[in-house]
Amino acid sequence: MKHRALSIYAFAYLAFLYVPVLVLPVFSFNNSEFIAFPLSGFTTRWYAGLADDSAMLHALANSLKVATVTALLSTMLGLSAAKAVTHNRLKGAGAALGFISLPLFIPDIVLGISLLLLLGATGLPLSLAAVVLGHLLVCVPFALTVLIARFEGFDRNLEEASTDLGENGWMTFWRVTFPLMLPGIVASLLLTFITSFDEFLIAYFLSGTEATLPIYIWGQLRFPERLPMVLALGALILTASVGLVILAEYLRNLGAKKPMVGA
Amino acid sequence: MTVDRGRNLGRGYRLLAPTLAVMGLGLAAPLLLMAVTSLKSQNGISLTEGWTLAQYGAVLGRASYRSLFLRSVLISGAVTIVTVGLAYPIAYYVAFHARHKFIWLVALTIPFWTSYLLRVFAWKIILGFNGVINSALMRLHLIGQPLEFLLYNPFAVVVTLAHAWAAFAILPIYVSLEKIDRSLLEAAGDLGDSRLRRFLRVTLPLSMPGVIGAAILIFVPTTGDFVTPQLVGGTKGIMIANLIEAQFNGVGNWPLGAALSLVSMALVGVLAGLFVASARAATRAAR
């Protein structure tokens, strides 16, 4: 009985999560400039309009650049820090972890503004590089959390065996550590990429004239006639992200099944 | 052996150094600068030479600012309670009763793979004058006029944020529920605890780390969100982040903005710390 109530609740909750998100594709195919019911026929013109929008394409390219660099850097930093705190009994490892995780306890707007002040004081320009630095603050703690969890289930003896058998540090990393960590690395890359790709509050203060995609979207929300196109963009982002998640899951399974020595 | 350990330690610190350097450059230095800036005052487009506590006087002294701080904390607190409260049963369902856990987890996270701004904006469409709810109710002839109280108030902010941050509640709570050793539950049942008692004395306390984590992951960032209040909050839903944002945009006042940022960061930090401490104490008492 209790069980059935929970199941009903679960489906109601799914509806709560999905209805607002489904608004995006529904209105992106609606043949009217006004985002209101009743719907007035099917069109693909909003999608066609997107392809000709050079400002949008430029912002998309910027976001892809920022998210790729952020994902790679934060996963590399997370990987080395996670290895340090799980494999070496370092004095002060707890304090270092606490410091690295600090951005999780600070509102993003404060991170963005403090970096804006730093740029102002040092005379450095607002730029995509500044956005990457800001995104690293939020992404490194995520990467670290994912990677530490993976390292904790990791048999240290495998690395030692590799060293004993005469492999140097780099070869041990590439042939033992890396394949074993691959699922964690993929998860970290995915999480940090999506976080950076969607980040608005920090980029808002740091991007200057080079808009990222969320900055572009924010600018468009002020113009009612641009909204259907923005919703089409949202529907496309949703589709692409779902595809990416499925791909990552596929790769993760592939990695998990691979015999680790032959990798 | 000792030599070997020393080498390992050195390698450990070298592995940690790049991350610490990036965080020092991106976090510690800017926050320090923010503290310095908050002790200045604006003079045209530059800052004055001397030091002053004037900004903190203004931040703590003005009643309008104080009420804005209070409202922000109340709204974020409500968002946290609503989000965690709604997410707990679903996490519980997936961890203990769902047959296809993985599919459920994917289904629950897919809505979060699109733009945050557009997820927030979607609620403007749902709650708006000609929105989903009003047009549905009008069509059903349940109302003659669109309801205007749905949008542009703190309620709309809470609903929107409870939706936007749901994944941050579902996943940590699910992980902590999933970790619970099922034999503990059986033992409690065998020893005669009722289902409710078993839940209150075993399941809930053991899942508290997930609940606490979720609460912090939601409370802290929502206090700094100026987008949602601006899109769906109206004048009564404005939060402290909107005031901070205004200081760095157009005719701004950077020292005042810096002081507002630091005070809100400290306030959020203290409240989060108090919450974690009291939640842990309550968990210990329940066991």
pLDDT, residue B3, reads 46
Cα–Cα dist A122/A113, whole Å? 14
Q: Which of A13-27, B98-112, B124-138, B217-231 has the lowest mean pLDDT?
A: B124-138
pLDDT, residue A117, reads 92
Give residue for tokens 């970290």.
A188
pLDDT, residue A227, reads 87
pLDDT, residue A178, reads 81
Cβ contact, residue pair A84, B131, below 8 Å: no
A247 near B CB under 8 A: no
Element (H, E) at B42: strand B42-43
Q: Which two tokens stand for residue A25?
A: 């594709």
pLDDT, residue B6, reads 54
Domain extent listing, chain A: 23-29+43-257
Nearest CA in chain B to A246: B106
Give residue for tokens 């390292």.
A151
Cβ contact, residue pair A111, B27, below 8 Å: yes
Cβ contact, residue pair B13, A84, below 8 Å: yes
User: Taking residues B125-148, what's their average pLDDT?
Assistant: 82
pTM: 0.87
Closest Cα in chain B, distance from residue A192 (Å): 13
pLDDT, residue B81, reads 96
Per-residue pLDDT at B280 exceeds 70: yes
pLDDT, residue A73, reads 97
Q: Which of A210-219, B181-190, B260-269 has the lowest mean pLDDT?
A: B181-190
Give residue for tokens 């070496």.
A88
- Please tell me the CATH code under which domain A23-29+43-257 is placed: 1.10.3720.10
Residues whose CB falls within 8 Å of the CB of residue B237, separated by 6 or more in sequence, listed in order: B75, B152, B153, B154, B156, B157, B229
Cβ density class A5-21: b for 16+ within 10 Å, e for less: ebeeebeebbebbebbb
Per-residue pLDDT at B12 exceeds 50: yes
Task: Show residues of chain A in contact with B9, CB under 8 Å.
Answer: 88-90
pLDDT tens column, A72-123 = 999 999 999 998 888 767 778 888 888 999 998 899 999 999 999 999 888 8
Q: Which of A33-37, A236-240, B138-142 has the lowest mean pLDDT?
A: A33-37
Q: Measuring CA to CA, how many Å separate A252 from each of A239, A261, B23, B60, B265?
A: 20, 17, 29, 52, 38
Amino acid making up residue B47: L
User: Taking residues B189-202, what's their average pLDDT?
Assistant: 83
Amino acid making up residue B227: V
pLDDT tens column, A25-70 = 888 898 888 777 777 888 888 898 888 889 999 999 999 999 999 9
Per-residue pLDDT at B52 exceeds 90: no
Task: Show residues of chain A in contact with B220, CB under 8 Å.
Answer: 104-107
pLDDT tens column, B224-274 = 999 999 999 888 888 999 999 999 887 688 999 999 999 999 999 999 999
pLDDT, residue B191, reads 82
Instruction: Give contacts of B 72-131 with A, CB under 8 A.
Output: 86, 89-90, 92-94, 97-98, 104, 106-111, 113-119, 121-123, 125-126, 128, 130-131
**Helix, strand or coil, per DSSP, at residue A30:** strand
Q: How many C-beta atoms surround the C-beta of residue B250 within 10 A?
A: 6
B227 near A CB under 8 A: yes
**Helix, strand or coil, per DSSP, at residue A202:** helix
pLDDT, residue A259, reads 47
Of A6, A110, A235, the CB nearest to B93: A6
Of A14, A110, A120, the CB nearest to B107: A14
Cβ contact, residue pair A115, B217, below 8 Å: no
Of A3, A6, A84, the CB nearest to B16: A84
Q: Which domains, and CATH codes, for chain B? A: 63-286 (1.10.3720.10)
A134 near B CB under 8 A: yes
Cβ contact, residue pair B130, A37, below 8 Å: yes
Q: Which of A14-28, A208-222, B41-55 has the lowest mean pLDDT?
A: B41-55
Strand ranges (E), A78-155: none
pLDDT, residue A62, reads 96
B176 near A CB under 8 A: no
pLDDT, residue B7, reads 57
**Which residue out of A70, A105, A110 would a mutagenesis test of the B interface target, given it has the greatest number of B Cβ atoms within 10 Å?**
A110
Asked whether the CA dihedral B268, B269, B270, B272 is positive or negative, the reply is positive
pLDDT tens column, A127-176 = 999 999 999 999 999 999 889 888 877 777 887 788 888 787 788 888 88
Instruction: Give contacts of A 20-49 with B, CB under 8 A.
Output: 20-21, 23-24, 27, 34-38
Q: Which of B17-31, B142-156, B204-218 has the lowest mean pLDDT?
A: B142-156
Closest Cα in chain A, distance from residue B162 (Å): 10
pLDDT confidence bin for A205, thresholds 50/70/90:
very high
Cα–Cα dist A164/A52, whole Å? 59
